[in-house]
Structure 1
Amino acid sequence: MSNKFMHLVAISSALLTAAVSVQADQVEPQAAYQMPLAANSLLTDIIDVQGTALVVVGERGHILVSKDGEQWQQAQVPVQANLNSVYFANKQYGWAVGHDASILHTTDGGLSWQIQHFAPETDKPLFDIYFSDLQNGIAVGAYGLFYRSLDGGVSWNKEFHPELLSEDDQDYLADLQQTDPDLYVIEQGAILPHFNRLFADGNVLYMVGEAGFAAKSTDLGQSWSRLEEFYNGSLFDITRSEQMSLIAVGLRGHAFKSTDQGNTWLPLELEETATFNSVFSDAAGRLYLVGNAGSLLVSNNDGISFSDSSQANGKAIVNGLVWQDKLILVTETGVKTIKLSELE
């Protein structure tokens, strides 16, 4: 099992250090293979495309589209990189990101994809992407990797946001800039934590990452405020519940709740010890925590208590959503569908 595969299953940032450096002129993107069992392979993200379709992404450049949540069609994808996240701005226009700093774009609802960015020489994966409209988007990833597009992804420009550093690291970089400009440039590419997930809450963006990193932007990512640290382990997802609480989840069964826009956080009382990979809610107000070892916890009271619907097969659940009357999960062994009635 490769390091990249292990990272996608466990969402463990530590494994990124084992990646092998490559030169850009030695690597050309290769199209993903059409695989009959792609829907049973490692899948990492899923999105409801405005009620018209579901799109999932995963290992080896696999992207699949479904109109009913049962039958899946594999898309034409120009890379074999592991993909980590997918986002759609409308029914037709979407983006996906992953390893080799890959950014892919579709204009036909996910059936075919084109490369907008491919930089294996960075040796850094992208973990998430968000577009506020058809022109303005950001993509984030390992070691503070941060790209912005102002033209729908035709071009992507790298940004460095020093305000996302701790005060000590800001002082350290400021000193390096004066005393050792070469080392300053190197440190810019390594000093920030991994940015694991973006969450858009109206005009506000939240971002979480490793080592307790959490930040907030009120101008769609142009500038950021680092939130007071409330956990020293990695955070892998953040969302807002139907009851308007912010919920963040991470390593070793840790989950947290904020009722004041992220200013203060309290831990959720859970007995789970497996890492949570994602958190999401549905229109009925249910809150779902999913993670490694088949972890699936469901709350009907905004996280005050949870019922345990963890899967006996013990396979990692990476993300999911509610589609019609079903819970659709993406896991290390593909798509899994559970009727909501089975959780009651």
Structure 2
Amino acid sequence: MAAEPADNQPQQADIARLAEKVLLTDIIDVNQQSLVAVGERGHILISNDGQNWLQAVVPVQANLNSVFFVNKLQGWAVGHDASILVTTDGGANWQLQHYAPSTDKPLFDVYFADKDRGIAVGAYGLFYRTEDGGNTWQTEFHPELLAEEEQEYLEELAETDPDMYEVERGAILPHFNRLYADGNVLYMVGEAGFVAKSIDNGLNWNRLEAFYNGSLFDITRTAQMTLITVGLRGNAFISNDQGQSWAALILNKQATLNSAFSDDKGRLYLVGNAGTLLMSTDNGVSFKDFSLADGKAIVNGLLWRDQLLLTTEVGIKTINLSELK
């Protein structure tokens, strides 16, 4: 774990009576047996039925942004203060593997290829890798994710001003917002229309041609084998050629889209701010609007036993699929 001054030591998350009613940012189905959701102030919730939630013991109060499980017992969560947490009991208890509030950079997503090899990414190109299940984490810098002129700029700085080179290297990359594993290919999206892909678990990356200049917050593949990415101001795009080219989806929403996900019946869901909830049954050609009347932001979601579970700014919301017609 990263060393920090004593006054920066983490504090255990408070046990809140209504933890399932506050901001939650991500949720995962663990082997179709249980659910784990994460959110603000270090809250992590677990459930076996999607209705009743138990708050886990968590050693940090940092806001958490993403959770990932590699099997039914072992998972990781990441968030602000470069926090990385691990569980080995299905989410009931968590240990802190990395904590560095002095970086002032949050982690936004985490992915593990297996129980040993994982990466965590975040603001300003923050990128950590582990090869030992998170016992140790090393930072990486990937210049191939920069535009060509930015690479040349850094190379020149390295020769002429090493101190400024170190400063710029820590801020020149865009925010890395989301990772998505598509078989053996790993995609990453982020700020300023950033999209990249890797075929070796993120050791090397290929930055794709820019097609949009706003931030992208999620990417997924549909049941029809097309890629969908979503972002600011209701912008969403579709690719039928592994991300080489993209076309804009026609939506009647201007709210920022935070997440996109699909189910095994071919339904595609886009969720976002202002209660935005859109569903397509024709691979993004058209969408039905099921946005929530309360207008509360939806951050993520998934399908669970014929129910749509949404993580929102006011906690977990459940919608029966029979209502989405």
Which TM-score band applies after superposition, normalised by the shorter structure? over 0.9
Amino acid at match of 1:302: N
* DSSP-derived class of the 1:211 partner: helix
User: 2:257 pairs with 253, 261, 276, which one?
Assistant: 276
User: 1:40 pairs with 2, 9, 21, which one?
Assistant: 21
In structure 2, the partner of 1:16 is none
User: 1:144 pairs with 119, 125, 129, which one?
Assistant: 125
In structure 2, the partner of 1:183 is 164
In structure 1, the partner of 2:301 is 320
Amino acid at match of 1:223: N
Q: What CA distance in whole angstroms lies between the structure 2 residues aligned with 1:76 and 1:283?
A: 33
* DSSP-derived class of the 1:183 partner: helix
Which 4+ runs in 1 deviate beyond 4 A?
none
Q: Given the two structures, how large is their TM-score scaled by the length of structure 1? A: 0.93
Q: What CA distance in whole angstroms lies between the structure 2 residues aligned with 1:298 and 1:123?
A: 37
Q: What CA distance in whole angstroms lies between the structure 2 residues aligned with 1:325 and 1:129?
A: 27
Q: What CA distance in whole angstroms lies between the structure 2 residues aligned with 1:104 and 1:52?
A: 21
1:191-230 aligned within 5 A: 191-230=172-211
Amino acid at match of 1:85: S
Deviations 1:27-53 (A, max 9, x none): 010000000100000000000001010
* DSSP-derived class of the 2:163 partner: helix
In structure 2, the partner of 1:75 is 56
Is contact 1:46-1:54 (8 Å) kept? yes
User: How many Å apart are 1:302 and its aligned residue?
Assistant: 0.4
Q: Which residues of structure 1 form unaligned runs of 5+?
A: 1-22
Please state if 1:305 is matched with 2:286: yes
Is contact 1:236-1:277 (8 Å) kept? yes
Q: What CA distance in whole angstroms lies between the structure 1 residues aligned with 2:6 and 2:207?
A: 37
**Matched positions, count:** 322
User: How many Å apart are 1:25 and its aligned residue?
Assistant: 4.1
CA RMSD of aligned residues (A): 0.6
Q: What CA distance in whole angstroms lies between the structure 2 residues aligned with 1:27 and 1:92?
A: 30
User: How many Å apart are 1:190 and its aligned residue?
Assistant: 0.3
1:48-197 aligned within 5 A: 48-197=29-178
In structure 2, the partner of 1:9 is none
Q: What CA distance in whole angstroms lies between the structure 2 residues aligned with 1:267 and 1:220?
A: 28
Is contact 1:43-1:57 (8 Å) kept? yes
Q: What CA distance in whole angstroms lies between the structure 1 residues aligned with 2:7 and 2:244?
A: 47
User: How many Å apart are 1:24 and its aligned residue?
Assistant: 4.0
Deviations 1:199-258 (A, max 9, x none): 000111000000011100011100000000010000000000000000000000000000
Is contact 1:128-1:198 (8 Å) kept? yes
Is contact 1:24-1:121 (8 Å) kept? no
Q: What CA distance in whole angstroms lies between the structure 2 residues aligned with 1:160 and 1:324?
A: 41
Report percent identity of matched pairs. 68
